[in-house]
Amino acid sequence: MIEIMDLTKRYDDLLVFEAFNLSIPDGEISCILGPSGCGKSTLLNIIAGLITYEKGEIIGVEHKKFSYIFQDTRLLPWGTAFENVFFALISLYHKDEAKEIANYYLDLVGLGEYKNYYPNQLSGGMKQRVSVARAFAYPSDILLMDEPFKGFDLELKNNLIDEFLKIWEENQKTVLFVTHDLEDAQKIGKNFFTIMTEMGLSIQN
Ligand code: ADP
Ligand code: MG
């Protein structure tokens, strides 16, 4: 369980969370839904330990390995699509195995022919797919996905959702899936958390 307790987060004068609480079950896919600007990315960044907060406690993230599909695909600009996935794996596997896994996930997201392209040679959607491949390939405990399928065409999105659910069935890791698309959330998730944050209120259903 990831427990967020009594969280307060502000950016200068902007109060994003106040006395915010959320319990996220282990081993399940939980969806975080909410309109643009309500604090979804902020929440993931806090859970991943990437940004600070004023008050509160987060339990259940200690010693956990995260993979994170950022809303703004953070690829290494000096690495090819292949290298972006491969370098995330090389400290964990033998070189040949890392290569095989990287190729497998790049094929899965339909980038087999673009493995040797650099990020600046790829479209926004393709960069996003590299980021998806990298996150799926990395053997994390917790997968954070921030609107990972935004801008994908419907067919690719539905294929990736199916593939994702198959991958997930095998390892059943804890997944936090952020979206503003109720349909995507319903396809993927089991638990739904709606953030309506001005008041830092979370409704669980
Ligand atoms: P969401 O992901 O739900 O669209 P964000 O978490 O990105 O929302 O942002 C929540 C609010 O905080 C927004 O009003 C946004 O403009 C603001 N915000 C986000 N990041 C920063 C930052 N680094 N500095 C100042 N304000 C920020
Ligand atoms: Mg966001």
Whole-angstrom distance, CA of residue 16 vs CA of residue 56: 13
**Taking the model in full, what pTM does it have?**
0.88
Whether residue 125 contacts residue 154, with contact meaning beta carbons closer than 8 Å, is answered with: no
pLDDT of residue 150: 82
Look up residue 152 and give its two tokens: 């994908």
Distance (Å, whole) CA 186 – CA 180: 11
Percent of the chain topping pLDDT 90: 63
Q: What are phi and psi of 39, to 5 degrees?
A: 115, 15
DSSP state of 121: G
Query: What is the chain's Cα-based Rg?
Result: 17
For ligand 1, mutation pick of 13, 16, 178, 198 (most atoms within 8 Å of CB): 16
Instruction: Give the separation between CA 183 and CA 141, rounded to whole angstroms.
Output: 26
pLDDT digit string, tens, across residues 47-66: 999 999 999 999 999 999 99
167 pLDDT more than 90: no
Residue nearest to atom 24 of ligand 1 (CA): 11
| Cα–Cα dist 13/9, whole Å | 10
> What pLDDT is attached to residue 196?
60
Integer Cα distance of 21 and 76 in angstroms: 34
For residue 191, how many C-alpha atoms fall within 13 Å in the half-sphere facing its CB? 19
When mean pLDDT is compared across 87-91, 111-115, 129-133, the lowest value belongs to: 129-133
* Per-residue pLDDT at 200: 47
For residue 150, how far is its CA from the centre of ligand 2 (angstroms)?
A: 11
Tell me, what amino acid is at 166? K
Q: Give the mutation target among 7, 8, 11 for probing the ligand 1 site: most ligand atoms within 8 A of CB.
A: 11
Which atom of ligand 1 is nearest the CA belonging to 71? Answer: 2
Report the pLDDT value the prediction gives residue 199, as an integer from 0 to 100: 46
